[in-house]
Structure 1
Amino acid sequence: MALRYDPFDPKFRTDPYPAYAELRTETPVAHHPAGAGQPEFWALTRFADVWDAVRDPATFSSAQGLTFFPDEIGSLGIPPTLVMLDPPVQTRLRGLIGRAFTPRRIAELEQRIRAFVKERIGELTERAAGGETPDLHQLFSAPIPVFVLADLLGVPESERASFTPWVAGLTAIQNDGFAIDVDQVSGQHAVGEMLGYFSEAITHRRSCTAHDDLISALVTTELDGAQLSDWDILGFCFVMVAGGSDTTASLISHAITLLTEAPAQREILLAEPTLIPSSVLEFLRLESSVQALARTTTRDVTLHDQTIPAGQKVMMVYGSANRDEAEFGRNADQLDVLRRPDRHLAFSSGPHFCIGSHAARLQATIALEELLAAHPRITAEAAAGERHDSYFVRAWKSLPCGDLSR
């Protein structure tokens, strides 16, 4: 019997990596039939297959949504956003939002991010000195991308206390089922509040453009000779928040978790901190924040003697592809901060390559540089932590830390 990619199995979700290894070997094109309230879909688990598929939007389309759920688009009450479009429209829109994520503009944020990171480290240190076991994720990793998003979107510091729960609400319910354990009512309320806030911000920016943020840039931008609609701009805001918060936060927390499990690799980074920027991709490769997202076939596709019919949802299993021995060698399931792969899927690839990759890498780099400089022996107590129970992402809710000695 062929092995199944089964994210509905709680044991699979807890530790999917042994199943991924078997799937890559035995069933690289896995079929999950419909039944018991579960949808039909397929899954690609080898690196080469996922790499080719995400770079072929004509065959593997994003326009029907990114999950295996058949009716996900519109669940948040807004039109399809950037990640649910195909070229050429997606290409033009991506070019607009890309203005906020150029390496130059992100680098301008570095001093502000570094100051904020040091402030968060001070909070961890103070809590530990007071006898607490600080929560690395809640007190350190999670606030960093929220700070950066607020900065990019022009949310004033006086209003950021409200922005934080809105981000948490949206990331929890995005795409109708990313998180299994979410309070849907609370999450939808948070999304509604954020929708209202950004609608007012867009109206204000249209009458007063003396702001230096993404919303101001978008309200003055034209596409095919016409200004972007409010819905277009709201969609951009939602893509940024939904895609740039929990993923980056979990990247930072996963990095400390992996270094805790591989002390020899930590020693390499402590001896040569200049390796930290390049090691960020290795952390994300080994513990991919986004484990899998779907495409929909536009024609019949045959891979490894299996034919996927047209119109089928196909999961791109990044978490498996990023550990494929055929691409990364025999030690693909081990941390190697010296690894320099020619290609990777840490941020996907092709037209939907993560538009916020520069921002995510910068945040993680600064966080690790400053944290390891202040507390070189810090540990992540993963056994005492709590993960989101999600079909698609591998993310922390809480992660206690220890050994904050210098």
Structure 2
Amino acid sequence: MTVAYDPLDPAFRADPYPAYAALREERPVHHHPGAPGIPEFWSFARFDDIWDAVREPATYSSARGLTFHPDEIGKLGIPPTIVMLDPPVQTALRSLIGRAFTPRRIASMEQKIRDFVRERIADLTERAAAGEEVDLHQLVSSPLPVFVLADLLGVPESDRAAFAPWVAALTQVQNDGFAVDPEQLSGMDAAAQMMGYFSEQITHRRTCEHDDLLGALVAAELDGERLSDWDILGFCFVMVAGGSDTSASLVSHGITLLTAAPGQRRLLLDDPSLISGAVLEFLRLESSVQGLARSTTREVRIHDTVLPEGAKVMMLYASANRDPREFGETAAELDVRRRPDRHLAFSSGPHFCIGSHAARLQATIAIEELLAAHPHISADPSRGVRHDSFFVRSWHHLPVGDLESRV
């Protein structure tokens, strides 16, 4: 039995969903023997298997990295961040961070975000009226999370010209799964520059209060314990590397999916209150994070397959999120009214995405404003350019097909 699952194959990256379907049906626990550029690893493809695994960190550990590379933490050259820790250390750190990074803090930004999105849409509209080919991803989707991150972290306007390139460089490193090579040195340099910048900002906030997330992280205290400088820096790194391109592509994927499903768009136009829930459906169908790894801490038997201790196991979220066993016969179809009891759009368990509120708010506002300004806006993925990545399914360019077409 042969399943065409090769993370390095450009054809697979362009459309991974047929391979995921084959894995779910024929080989839910798949062994990849390794190849040039990829070490040996296993993968889980079904929803229930992944749901259970990510909620069992004692067996499926994050502490050995999140990709199939065995030494990614060493390659990064930095201590483990919160996403590469297990309970109880991860639990205590998450609790401290959660006291600063609250849904209320995110919600307080709603008007700022809405104003920014409207400015970007106005620019897109003006360019289109002048006859330019307009790029939805570059003009609206991509700048949005950069703005949100900078505002949350208290980056002043005077420093944002430097902040945006750091975000872009770190996004590229993250998209390539931390596979450090000479072409990525600029990305690692960007990480060093960003860490140096935020180190200075943390030092300043330890002596002078600031009403921003960085200031709140400095002040956060649990049972007399405060976050160390590295804990705060690591969280900044995770926010920037993991929360920029994924949030941007959620917006672009949403418009792409609606372009292909005019009936679903009509539902949102008739009832905009559905948009917030639809954002989760966009993320379910086009999971920004395609999969992340865990490492087994003991020998595991699952579906008659034995995984050895220390095995790298890719949790294929994008496959799980289209599993008919969980989402029914329409699992591969867009349904903006779908409200599943469970989903893996933001993972689950101790590593449930701490930035989920920020991602959902950004995407909800962006889709609301795009449909309000241009109810029949379409995207043209045939002329788009994706980042060539297995770990993150994202866009680099996504031209607008038409602003007003009703087709």
Secondary structure of residue in 1 paired with 2:114: helix
- Greater alpha carbon shift after TM alignment, 74-83 vs 126-135: 74-83
Match of 2:394 in 1: 395
Match of 1:177 in 2: 177
2:293 is the counterpart of 1:276 = no
Q: Distance in 2 between matches of 1:99 and 1:244?
A: 19
1:101 CA displacement:
3.3
1:12 CA displacement:
1.0
Match of 1:24 in 2: 24
CA contact (8 A) 2:32 2:40 kept: yes
CA contact (8 A) 1:101 1:358 kept: no
Deviations 1:344-399 (A, max 9, x none): 00110000000010111010000000110000111111010100001211000010
Q: Distance in 2 between matches of 1:4 and 1:224?
A: 51
Q: Distance in 2 between matches of 1:37 and 1:63?
A: 22
Deviations 1:172-211 (A, max 9, x none): 11387358999412222222221111111111111212x1
Deviations 1:130-164 (A, max 9, x none): 10111100110011111111111110122111111
Q: Kindly, what percent of the aligned residue pairs are identical?
A: 72
CA contact (8 A) 2:137 2:248 kept: yes
Match of 1:289 in 2: 288
Q: Distance in 2 between matches of 1:148 and 1:387?
A: 23
Match of 2:11 in 1: 11
1:75 CA displacement:
2.6
- Greater alpha carbon shift after TM alignment, 196-205 vs 174-183: 174-183
Q: Distance in 1 between matches of 2:80 and 2:65?
A: 8
Code of the aligned partner of 1:120:
R
- Greater alpha carbon shift after TM alignment, 71-80 vs 342-351: 71-80
- Greater alpha carbon shift after TM alignment, 167-176 vs 338-347: 167-176
Code of the aligned partner of 2:265:
R
Match of 2:119 in 1: 119
Long gaps (5+) in structure 2? none
CA contact (8 A) 1:178 1:390 kept: no
Deviations 1:285-308 (A, max 9, x none): 000000000000011111111111
The 5 Å alignment of 1:6-405 reads 6-174=6-174, 177=177, 183-209=183-209, 211-222=210-221, 225-405=224-404
CA contact (8 A) 2:175 2:389 kept: no
CA contact (8 A) 1:118 1:370 kept: yes
Q: Distance in 2 between matches of 1:175 and 1:84?
A: 17
Deviations 1:212-261 (A, max 9, x none): 11221222234664443222211011011111100000000000000011
- Greater alpha carbon shift after TM alignment, 150-159 vs 367-376: 150-159
Secondary structure of residue in 2 paired with 1:294: strand
CA contact (8 A) 1:179 1:390 kept: no
Give the number of aligned pairs: 405
| 337 and 176 in structure 1: CA distance in 2 versus 1, 3 angstrom threshold | closer
Q: Distance in 1 between matches of 2:328 and 2:175?
A: 34
1:97 CA displacement:
1.7
Secondary structure of residue in 2 paired with 1:383: helix
Secondary structure of residue in 2 paired with 1:31: strand
CA contact (8 A) 1:298 1:310 kept: yes
1:37 CA displacement:
4.4
| 10 and 144 in structure 1: CA distance in 2 versus 1, 3 angstrom threshold | same
| 47 and 10 in structure 1: CA distance in 2 versus 1, 3 angstrom threshold | same
Q: TM-score, normalised by structure 2?
A: 0.96
Q: Distance in 1 between matches of 2:130 and 2:37?
A: 50
Secondary structure of residue in 2 paired with 1:75: helix
| 65 and 144 in structure 1: CA distance in 2 versus 1, 3 angstrom threshold | same
Q: Distance in 2 between matches of 1:223 and 1:242?
A: 26
Q: TM-score, normalised by structure 1?
A: 0.96
CA contact (8 A) 1:179 1:388 kept: no
Secondary structure of residue in 2 paired with 1:295: strand
1:13 CA displacement:
1.1
Secondary structure of residue in 1 paired with 2:205: helix
CA contact (8 A) 2:96 2:227 kept: no
Secondary structure of residue in 1 paired with 2:72: coil
CA contact (8 A) 1:5 1:43 kept: no
